[in-house]
A and B are shown apart, each in its own frame.
Chain A
Amino acid sequence: MSKKIGDVILDVQNISLRFGGVKALTDISFNVREREIRSIIGPNGAGKSSMLNCINGVYQPQEGSIVFRGQTFSQMNSRQVAEMGIARTFQNLALFKGMSVVDNIMTGRNLRIKSNLFMQAIRNPFGIGGAQREEEQHREFVEHIIDFLEIQAYRKTPVGQLSYGLQKRVDLGRALAMEPKVLLLDEPMAGMNLEEKQDMSRFILDVNDEFGTTVVLIEHDMGVVMDISDRVVVLDYGRKIGDGTPEEVRSNDEVIRAYLGTTN
Chain B
Amino acid sequence: MIYQENGQLKISYRADQQIFPILQDRWAVLAILALAFAGIPMLADEYLFRAILIPFLILSLAAIGVNILVGYCGQISMGSGAFMAVGAYMAYNAYVRIDAMPLIGALLVGGASATLVGMFFGIPSLRVKGLYLAVATLAAQFFCDWAFLRIGWFTNNSSSGSVSVSNLDVLGWTVSSPLEKYLFCLSFVVVFALIAKNLVRSAIGREWMAIRDMDVAATVIGIRPMYAKLSAFAVSSFIVGVAGALWGFVHLGAWEPSAFSIDRSFQLLFMVIIGGMGSIMGSFFGAAFIVVLPIVLSQLVPALGALVGLSISTAAVSHIEAMVFGALIVWFLIVEPHGLAKLWSTGKQKLRVWPFPH
Contacts and interface: CB of A to CB of B under 8 A. Distances in A.
What is the interface residue range for chain A against chain B? 35 or more
A117 B204 contact: yes
Contacts of A78: 219-220, 222
Contact of A125 (B14, B206, B213): B14
Contact of A82 (B13, B14, B210, B220): B220
Interface string B211-247: 0111011111111100000010001000000000000
Given A120-B199, A122-B198, A95 B221 contact: no
B209 A96 contact: yes
Interface stretch (A86-94, A203-211, A217-225): A86-94
B207 interface: yes
Nearest to A123: B198
Interface in A56-72: 56-58
A125 B18 contact: yes
A58 B13 contact: no
A83 B219 CA distance: 11
Contacts of B212: 96, 98
B157 interface: no
A107 B207 contact: yes
A107 B14 contact: no
A90 B217 contact: yes
Given A110-B203, A120-B198, A136-B14, A95 B220 contact: no
Contacts of A109: 203
Q: Give the secondary structure class of B's interface.
A: helix
A18 B242 CA distance: 49
A22 interface: no
Contact of B219 (A79, A97, A139): A79
Interface in A93-141: 94-99, 103, 106-111, 113, 115, 117, 120-125, 131-132, 135-136, 139-140
B112 to A, nearest CB: 14
B213 A58 contact: no
A94 B221 CA distance: 12
Contacts of A249: none
Contacts of A48: none
B9 to A, nearest CB: 14
Contact of A110 (B13, B18, B221): B221
Interface in B1-21: 12-14, 16-18
A107 B218 contact: yes
Contact of B214 (A82, A96, A103): A96
B278 interface: yes
Nearest to A119: B202
B131 interface: no
B296 interface: no
B195 interface: yes
Contacts, number: 111
B192 to A, nearest CB: 10
Interface in A36-67: 56-58
Interface string B279-299: 000000000000000000000
A115 B217 CA distance: 22
A107 B217 CA distance: 10
Nearest to B200: A120
Contact of B221 (A87, A120, A132, A139): A87
Nearest to A113: B203
B222 A79 contact: yes
A182 interface: no
A120 B203 contact: yes
Given A97-B213, A125-B14, A79 B224 contact: yes
Interface string B333-354: 0000000000000000000000
A17 to B, nearest CB: 16
Contacts of A115: 202-203
A87 to B, nearest CB: 7
Please indicate which of the listed interface residues B207, B213, B216, B220 has the most CB atoms of chain A within 10 Å of its own CB.
Answer: B220
A94 B214 contact: yes
Contacts of B278: 98
A143 interface: yes
Contacts of A140: 13
A33 interface: no
Contacts of B198: 120-124, 131
A35 interface: no
A10 B111 CA distance: 48
Given A82-B220, A121-B198, A174-B221, A99 B14 contact: no
A154 to B, nearest CB: 15
Interface string B120-146: 000000000000000000000000000
B221 A178 contact: yes
Top 3 A-B pairs ranked by shortest CB distance?
A82-B222, A120-B202, A94-B217
Interface of A: 56-58, 78-79, 81-83, 87-88, 90, 94-99, 103, 106-111, 113, 115, 117, 120-125, 131-132, 135-136, 139-140, 143, 174-175, 178
Interface of B: 12-14, 16-18, 195, 198-199, 201-204, 206-207, 209-210, 212-214, 216-224, 231, 235, 278
26 contacts: A56-B220, A57-B219, A57-B220, A58-B216, A58-B219, A79-B219, A87-B220, A90-B216, A95-B213, A97-B213, A98-B212, A99-B210, A99-B213, A103-B206, A106-B203, A107-B207, A110-B203, A117-B231, A120-B204, A121-B198, A123-B201, A131-B198, A132-B14, A135-B17, A139-B16, A143-B13
